[in-house]
Chains A and B, each alone.
Chain A
Amino acid sequence: MDSRFKSLQNVLVHGIVLGVVCIIPFCIPPFYQKLAVEAICLAVFAMSLDLIMGYAGMASFGHAAYFGLGGYTLGAVLMFWWPSIWPAFLAAGFLSGVLAFLIGVTSIRAKGIYFAILTLAFAEVLYRVVFHTYALGGSDGLIGIPVPALNLIFLKVDLTKTLHFYYLAVAFAYISYRVCYRLVESPFGRVLKGIRDNENRVSFLGFNVKQYKVIVFVISGVFAGWSGALFSLFKTFADTEQLNFLLSGKVIVMALIGGMGTLLGPMLGAVLLTVVESVASTYFHAHSIVIGTMFVLVVIFLPGGIFGLFSDLRNRR
């Protein structure tokens, strides 16, 4: 009886949230609609980082590599090979996953800070390589990615309209969240939490820790790649700013401020940060200082992020 009530509660909450999200674009001006789409892509990106940082305890300082690669792959496929969304999207996820596998397998043998710096180094190498590749547009990137209509068997969606893209992004984010949630609550996810808590002991329990780490790293890379692909599709370009250290840093800030280890926290953090940046930059030049200060304050005083604050309050009751 109790569990049926809980799942009804669940459906209600999901329904209300989704409902609100779907109504939002009608309440805000077009500029903010565009911002919202970007925020949603970054939200999934931040969630992908949470998988490895918040659940498995691996600090990745080069996560933009997968985001950017996803964008470039989608752009390259649409521009040079096959102007259809599904193959481009799948290719983006696939290549990002492969990259994550290669980098993961190489880096995971190193622990802690060494791992973090390795991920940073790999991302920097990728950035420089792409920057100097004329075929990929060099520092300008791939401009003018065509946006074909999305073919959903029974429906053809015109993605040049921001509103349609918005709903696509929401659907993508929701599905990604459900999948990731299932993953972290599964026995697999429990092992990840164990790794974050006491990595040493986990291998004595019979788990091949390296394998688990590589697997979650690849999954994270795939979602990062998909979010990057969606982002590039919306902006109709893929440039090196989607690959650089500043973005890798930004997504860490998003994840932390929102609350690591909660999946939803980083998504919230991404939205929050995008809004703050946009609002603050219209008023004064120092918007990044505001964000930087917020970040530092959260690290010192509120390490669980905003979501951590919620769960603290809930536990006290």
Chain B
Amino acid sequence: METILTEYLVYILLPQVLHGLVWGMVIAFIALGLTIIFGLMDIVNFAHGEFYMLGAFFGYSISFVTNNFWISLALAAVAVGLLGVLIEVLMLRRLYGRDPIFHLLLTFGIGMIFREAALLIWGGETRRVDLPVSSTIEFLGMMYPVYRLAILVIGALVLIAIWYILAKTASGATIRAASQDRQMSWALGINVPRVYTLVFATGVALAGFAGCLMSPIYFVYPTMGIDVILRAFVVVIVGGMGSLLGALVASIMIGEIESLASLWISPTWAETLVFVALIITLVVKPSGLFGKAER
């Protein structure tokens, strides 16, 4: 009896928990970018999933040139970041001061364009990317892919780096100041537009990085952004818009809910469960678990 239980725990439950952690990590990357951008600029970036998708496609295409996964990963993230700079300067800037509904609509439209452009450039078929590391390793009594563990490690490092930058450095303080009080920061000499551009570019670069990082596992197709963005919205709202801790906690939660639920119910119903969680959260606490009330 005991061995069946341990077998279940080790061979079925544990992998799912780890899968959930990995999926949660993906969502966390997207959600963090989303929530930082919202926290600073009051903009909900509907196109965030598409930056994720473009990161994956850029990585895919670049790897034909460089033949090295890790270099492609770095270049892809930078490319997405540059695209973010372009979008922010050329389009988003023009909408500051307008009714927030237009921000929603603009980023929504940009997402549409990106999706269709990707479809046009790369076609609709799913691309497969080879695992840079295809071995498995023994982990807590079972064999688990090294790459997935690598993702967890890399992800954790990036998150710690972000936290460190925001909490402990001068630039981080600048960003936090600008998000708390725009006018005052401007008056104190902080170049607010530049901070905006930087933060937006970094936020979407994070998404692009995640897209490329995850591409060996989740593959690459033009609508991959839509799947992630919906989860990311759930996370950001459940965690509270603008709360980094909330985004992180909620990402892991959602990742685990989906992963573990799919053991017993079909994946699409697990998906639906995520939305139900969102609905319940918003009904009970309209500003999210950790969120501040609407500005």
Contacts and interface: CB of A to CB of B under 8 A. Distances in A.
Interface of A: 53, 57, 59, 106-107, 109-114, 116-118, 120-122, 124-125, 128-129, 131-132, 245, 249, 252-253, 256, 285-286, 288-289, 291-293, 295-296, 299-300, 303
Nearest to A127: B272
Contact of A292 (B102, B104, B112, B269): B112
B227 to A, nearest CB: 11
Contact of B275 (A121, A252, A288, A296): A121
B282 A59 contact: no
A113 B44 contact: yes
B98 A289 contact: no
User: Which 5 pairs between the two chains have the least Cβ-Cβ distance?
Assistant: A292-B113, A292-B112, A296-B109, A288-B116, A295-B109
A253 to B, nearest CB: 7
Contacts of A117: 233, 237, 278, 282
Contacts of A59: 101, 104
Contacts of A256: 105
B95 interface: yes
B283 interface: yes
A256 B101 CA distance: 11
B106 interface: yes
B294 A293 contact: no
A124 B230 contact: yes
A124 to B, nearest CB: 5
B94 A128 contact: no
Interface size class of B (residues with CB under 8 A): 35 or more
Contacts of A299: 95, 102, 105-106, 109
A116 B104 CA distance: 10
For the complex, would chain A's binding face be called helix, strand, loop or mixed by DSSP majority? helix
B110 interface: yes
Nearest to A250: B112
Nearest to B291: A114
Nearest to B94: A300
Contacts of B104: 59, 113, 116
Given A109-B286, A125-B272, A299-B102, A288 B112 contact: yes
B95 A300 contact: yes
Nearest to A117: B233
Contacts of A106: 279, 283
B276 interface: yes
B287 interface: yes
A128 B102 contact: no
Nearest to A295: B109
A101 to B, nearest CB: 15
B240 to A, nearest CB: 11
B286 A114 contact: yes
Contacts of B110: 292, 296
B117 interface: yes
A245 B226 contact: yes
Given A291-B112, A295-B105, A300-B94, 19 more contacts: A57-B101, A107-B282, A112-B294, A113-B104, A113-B241, A114-B287, A117-B278, A118-B278, A121-B233, A121-B278, A121-B279, A128-B271, A128-B275, A288-B112, A289-B117, A292-B110, A292-B113, A295-B112, A299-B106
